[in-house]
Amino acid sequence: MKPELIISDISLPDGNFLEEIKKHPELQYIKIMVISGNTDVKNIKEAFNLGAEDFIKKPFDYEELSIRIKKIFKNHNEIISINKEILYDKTNKNLIIDNNIIPLTKKESQLLEILLQNRGKVVSNSALINFLWEDNVSLNTLNVLVKRLRKKLGCKDIIKTKRDLGYIIE
């Protein structure tokens, strides 16, 4: 099971963990909160530029930490417009098409969320496989999942294939 949130100091003895996470595609979709005693603007800016969701200064109150964690996950309970006709309900993991609710499987919803989080960017096949499955699966397994999701979306042009690279929602 992959974590949903990492809370860490930005400066660790072995280096900057945010830079290390960028080297691992299967980790790039995990939310990150930085806690640091180094509170100069340069350090805060670096944390956000490297993908942190939030930054909290040491010392901090545990209640504040709890509030900030809830805020990170609250932002993920929403309805997202895929296009003019199709909505995605992140909370209930359903598509809404012409007021019809179409349930998605766990893998279908995870795939859709990754692509929507990276709208306009190609998400590589290897990053998708590493994120969606614990075990290494074949590219064919990913292709079948994309085909099932496209069928539920009712439009083949929402998820576009970038040959030998990955998939994109523009």
State the residue for tokens 């030998």: 164
Amino acid at 163: R
Give the pLDDT confidence score for residue 156 in this predicted structure. Answer: 66
State the residue for tokens 């990492």: 6
Edge-first strand listing for the sheet containing 123-124: 123-124, 166-169, 159-162
* H-helix or E-strand spanning residue 25: none
CA neighbor of 168 nearest in space, from 24, 110, 26, 158:
158
Give the pLDDT confidence score for residue 48 in this predicted structure. Answer: 86
- Alpha carbon distance 119, 12 (integer Å): 32
CA neighbor of 123 nearest in space, from 105, 146, 95, 102:
146
Give the pLDDT confidence score for residue 13 in this predicted structure. Answer: 66
Cβ–Cβ < 8 Å for 153, 170: no
Give the pLDDT confidence score for residue 44 in this predicted structure. Answer: 87
- Alpha carbon distance 54, 42 (integer Å): 15
For 36, phi then psi, to 5°, come to: -155, 145
Q: Which SS3 state, helix, strand or coil, does residue 130 take?
A: helix
Q: Tens of pLDDT along the chain (170 residues)? A: 467 788 888 766 666 677 777 677 666 667 889 998 888 888 888 888 877 889 999 899 999 999 998 888 776 557 788 888 898 988 888 998 887 889 999 999 999 999 998 999 999 999 999 889 978 889 999 999 999 999 999 876 899 999 989 999 98
State the residue for tokens 């595609």: 25
- Alpha carbon distance 58, 132 (integer Å): 35
- Alpha carbon distance 44, 54 (integer Å): 9
Q: Is 104 exposed, middle or buried (0-12, 13-18, 19+ CB in 10 A)?
A: buried
